[in-house]
Amino acid sequence: MSGKVVVVTGASSGFGKLTVLELARRGHTVVATMRDVEGRNATVRSELIDAAKTEGHVLQVLEMDVADEASVNSAIDQVVKQHGKIDALINNAGLMAVGVTEAYTVADIERQFAVNFFGTVRADRAVLPHMRAAGGGLLVHVTSLMGRVIFPFFGVYSASKFALEALAEAYRYELKGFGIDSVIVEPGPFPSNLISSSPEPSDHAVLASYGEVAAIPGQIKANANDGHDEANPPRPQRVADAIVQLVEATERRPLRTVVMPEGMDFGVQRLNEAVSPIQNNMLTSFGMSSML
């Protein structure tokens, strides 16, 4: 297998951290990106580099804040200058707002979208000119089952992931002629630090008006990692494995890949299968079947 040059955003923890380590094990040239590599993430940077080195692999860590266009462009330019290309971009960076939806102000929601949606827009736009010039490439967009279904108190997060799903699917059609795949990975409820680090809504007056309902998000956060089978706990590595499989695929990849904890099924795969023919028929009726 010929190793690929792969850039991963949000690599300091969770799925991103597991993905960069697995890609390195598989012999790819991996560039793990994150914020504040000289400060709060300096330890993570060292852990990633040392872990790869111990196994005889090379892993590079670069500063990238997906909410800052100059930071994104600088990091991507550096990768292309050093390696000559980018074969795959894994858009993994994200935040998860959990709270009373109305209590999130416009500024709060803009901060959520700055990372979850516009962060991906920035990264995709930075790499796409290089991929189009090379005649191929892969964009992986890590969304969520909540990019397809809705849970109360996750409205702001879901909105950002629904938007990301739309962007990724539009790219899927428009980039086919350039040999570029745009795909979506939809993880289920794996344990992570996303819920515990959820940004709080800023409109306290609205929160107060919701009474006892306003306490429910706190209960969700407190119980975020409960309800799993202790004898067979969820393995977030499944998400990393699915991403690596997409990177290494030699044929056109599926648009959506659902990754749930073992034994759990919320029906998202069935939803995707039901929607797909409707979407395909619509494009065909407009003479766009060649983009499918």
The residues annotated with a catalytic role in the active site are: 157
Rounded-to-integer distance, Cα 189 and Cα 238, Å? 12
Rounded-to-integer distance, Cα 193 and Cα 185, Å? 19
Structure tokens at 56: 């005889």
Rounded-to-integer distance, Cα 25 and Cα 57, Å? 7
DSSP category for residue 199: P
SS3 180: strand
Angle between helices 118-134 and 106-116 in degrees, nearest 10: 30
* Cβ-based burial of 177 (10 A; exposed 0-12, middle 13-18, buried ≥19): exposed
Rounded-to-integer distance, Cα 131 and Cα 180, Å? 7
Rounded-to-integer distance, Cα 25 and Cα 281, Å? 41
